Amino acid sequence: MKRDFISIADWPTDELDKIFALAAELKEKQKRGETRPYLGGKTLAMIFEKSSTRTRISFEVGMVQLGGYPLFLDSRSTQLGRGEPIEDTARVMSRYVDGIMIRTFAHENVTEMARWASVPVINGLSDLLHPCQVMADLFTVLEHKKSFRDLTFCWIGDGNNMANSWINAAAAFGFELRLATPKGYEPDAAVLEPARARGARVLLTNDPLEAAHQAHVLNTDVWASMGQEEEQLKRQKAFAGFQINSDTLRVADPECVVLHCLPAHRGEEITAEVLEGPHSLIFDEAENRLHVQKAIMVTLMG
Ligand code: CP
Ligand code: NVA
């Protein structure tokens, strides 16, 4: 049966661990210049209803490195943009391609695509979740800290698609996750409650320094996500102080690492000093999108 990668919550922890192990192997091979056509002759359709730098390039290059062919589809220039239903698009595309990656607004667009497609569907970001990014983030932490055991993760900012995926990660790997959001910007209860029922240790607070206290991993994201551009001004007021800066580092673990999925707004959710500073793993994290997504594609489509 085909499998999809829509949410970290859909995957057993041992299989997520296997994806990390494969990502490490593929990364090492690629650094040595060794190539193997794991997906030779296969095609990935990539549907983008929102902008992208990292997701598009890493999936596209990853597919080429695996011997496959990536097909970039801008929703505006396909019939999807003119209202062709997902159920028709999914069935037609399944006759041509071996996998579909979709970046969209409503999460239901991803689940509908998966429901109607007979090929694997990968969530390249929805308003609810960004699982490929958090897999790359977890892999980056593993590279630097060797295990998640005994680590405390801290999220400062919006309870958005990234925060929701971090909650699913906390359920899968058992680490403590503290999220500091302004009031009214908490993560989605439809993600949080089932994750807690699965044993996730998640603390919600409105105090960034409480969340960061002795934390080993500090993480943030933009105050206004794609699709929320008109809320930018309102959010700038609501999120004032929800920033990773030198004060945050002062209360965190001295060996802490800093993550940001990018794009970043320096001076808003993170200072330039921290983004460019010695604790930042942000550019390794961006690179690891490539290696981890190659592992996800090989797992689903290989
Ligand atoms: N982090 C991330 O998904 O970046 P893009 O929006 O550039 O793809
Ligand atoms: N939360 C951000 C992540 C961008 C990669 C957004 O959805 O725009």
C-beta of residue 275 within 8 angstroms of C-beta of residue 282: yes
pLDDT given at position 296: 99
pLDDT given at position 76: 85
List, in order, residues 6 or more apart from 272 with CB less than 8 Å away: 266
Q: Is 162 in the pocket of ligand 2 (CB under 6 A)?
A: yes
Catalytic residue list contains 133: yes
CATH of the domain at 264: 3.40.50.1370
Domain assignment present for 55: yes
Catalytic residue list contains 261: yes
Burial classification of residue 72, based on how many CB atoms lie within 10 Å of its CB (0-12 exposed, 13-18 middle, 19 or more buried): middle
Burial classification of residue 101, based on how many CB atoms lie within 10 Å of its CB (0-12 exposed, 13-18 middle, 19 or more buried): buried
Q: Do 208 and 177 share a structural domain?
A: yes
Q: Is 219 in the pocket of ligand 2 (CB under 6 A)?
A: no
Is the pTM for the entire model greater than 0.75? yes
Domain assignment present for 16: yes
The one catalytic residue in 4, 54, 98, 133 is: 133
pLDDT given at position 137: 99
pLDDT given at position 149: 86
Range of the domain at 237: 133-285
Ligand 1 lining (C-beta closer than 6 Å)? 52-55, 125, 133, 261-262
Of the listed ligands, the closest to the CA of 137 is 1
Q: How many domains does the chain have?
A: 2
Instruction: Give me 267's structure tokens.
Output: 């001076």
Domain assignment present for 157: yes
Best residue among 47, 49, 50, 52 to mutate for probing ligand 1, ranked by most atoms within 8 Å of CB: 52
Tell me the sheet residues that pair with 274: none
Place of tokens 């409480």: 210
Q: Do 227 and 205 share a structural domain?
A: yes
The one catalytic residue in 56, 216, 289, 291 is: 289
What distance in Å separates the CA atoms of residue 227 and residue 127, rounded to the nearest whole number? Answer: 8
List C-alpha distances in Å: 269 to 158, 189, 210, 234: 9, 23, 16, 15
Q: Is 226 in the pocket of ligand 2 (CB under 6 A)?
A: yes
SS3 75: helix
Q: Do 293 and 279 share a structural domain?
A: no
Catalytic residue list contains 130: yes
Q: Is 264 in the pocket of ligand 2 (CB under 6 A)?
A: no
pLDDT given at position 75: 82
Domain assignment present for 154: yes
Q: Is 225 in the pocket of ligand 2 (CB under 6 A)?
A: yes
Distance 293 CA to ligand 1 centre (A): 13
Where the chain has pLDDT below 50, the residues are none
Q: Do 143 and 37 share a structural domain?
A: no
Convert 112-125 to b/e letters by CB count within 10 Å (16 or more is b). Answer: bbbebbebbbbbbb
Catalytic residue list contains 178: no
Q: Please give the order of strands across the beta sheet that includes 99-103.
A: 69-74, 43-48, 99-103, 121-123
Nearest CA to ligand 2 atom 1: 225
